């Protein structure tokens, strides 16, 4: 079964060195969205404008398959 990795970039870089075996990239997408939701919820209001959040899903060959971006900005700030 292929292995997928879920790297997170926020205030720090959290590289997933272990990964997870999943049947296909569709399962990896589902895992990414569920995990991203849980991780964003755990920030508990600490996501601030100018501090974006990103998850990159890669395959076992480090090919990027998906990128989830949360762009935190204050459009009224000049």
pLDDT tens, position by position, 38-68: 998 887 777 788 788 999 999 999 999 999 9
Give me the pLDDT at residue 59, please: 97
Cα–Cα distance, 25 to 28 (Å, whole number): 5
β-pair type (13-14, 20-21): unpaired
For the residues 25-32, what does the mean pLDDT come to? 97
Spatial CA neighbour of 9 closest among 44, 58, 45: 58
pTM to 2 decimal places? 0.86
């Amino acid at each position: 079964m292929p292995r997928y990795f879920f790297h997170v970039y926020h205030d720090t870089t959290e590289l997933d060195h272990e990964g997870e075996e999943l049947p296909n990239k569709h399962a990896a997408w589902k895992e990414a969205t569920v995990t991203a939701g849980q991780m964003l919820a755990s920030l508990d209001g600490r996501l601030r404008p100018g501090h974006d959040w990103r998850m990159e899903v890669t395959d076992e060959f480090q090919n990027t398959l998906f990128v989830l971006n949360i762009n935190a900005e204050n459009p009224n700030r000049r």
